Chains A and B, each alone.
Chain A
Amino acid sequence: MLLIPCPHCGERPEIEFTYGGEAHLVRPADPSTLDDAAWADYLYMRSNTKGVHAERWRHARGCGRFFNALRDTTTDQFLASYRIGEPKPAIPTGDPR
């Protein structure tokens, strides 16, 4: 079973978590001023990264907190996790595989 590092509780089994999609998406301050293309871009367009991806997770069956994590989408390896509000850490160098 995949172990996911919760920044509050430490490494915990995958089935305690729910996935929250790509991280660091900022909702436009005034959506009514956007045209349809820009609004659709915010709503639907995601980076679909192959490699290190910043994403939200929730430790739903644990401490209940949302947090952000860096995961390599090709290997499923978690490289870092950090609390909501903290800046995205630098991507660790070197080949984790």
Chain B
Amino acid sequence: MRETAVRNVPDLPASDWMRPLPPATRVAFQGGPAARAAAAQAFPLPDAQAVCRARRDGDRAGLWLGPDECLLIAPATTAAGALLGALRSAIGATAHSLVDVSHRQVGIEVRGPHAERLLNGACPLDLSLDRFPVDMCTRTVFAKAEIVLWRTDEQQFRVEVWRSFAPYTAALLQEIARDYVG
């Protein structure tokens, strides 16, 4: 069941400004400063003080979602079980929570000169580069869907949305895009 859900990314439209991202391994981490520091030995994690920032190491990234919460994203070639095991052994007995949520959500990439405006069609945050710089990330809303938004480059965003909301999010992006891209 889980494997099917991880492999089968919903059939979303792809174009030069938007594309569904390939399957990924995702882990939800919760824990205090001690657990976070220990977990950072095994995976790139932002400091608790690095509010709304992602820390990248190659193709792995840890996203700050809250003072005691992170979303870990790794390529699908990283087995979730192995990643969880490495994190658990790094953290040890310190209180924490690690959950494999690979199948829970899908990634959508929005890019190009209109990326900010396309997302602002349904997301109320100020996405200008000085207020939402590269590698800023946050949980927020996209119309009626809850998303995690991560600016991966000046004109490129990664949207992480729960898979049942993905068709809605993609369709709304297409609708908004009619004002900007033909």
Contact = CB atoms under 8 A, between A and B. Distances in A.
A31 interface: no
B139 A61 contact: yes
B66 A64 contact: yes
A7 B51 CA distance: 11
Interface residues of B, number: 13
A64 B65 contact: yes
A12 B67 CA distance: 16
Given A1-B124, A13-B125, A16-B140, A63 B69 contact: yes
Q: Classify the secondary structure of A's interface with B.
A: loop
Contacts of B52: 9
Given A8-B66, A9-B51, A62 B140 contact: yes
B146 interface: yes
Interface of A: 1, 8-10, 12-13, 15-16, 61-65
23 contacts: A1-B124, A8-B51, A8-B66, A8-B67, A9-B52, A12-B140, A13-B124, A16-B124, A16-B140, A61-B139, A61-B140, A61-B141, A61-B146, A62-B139, A62-B140, A63-B65, A63-B66, A63-B67, A63-B69, A63-B139, A64-B66, A64-B69, A64-B139
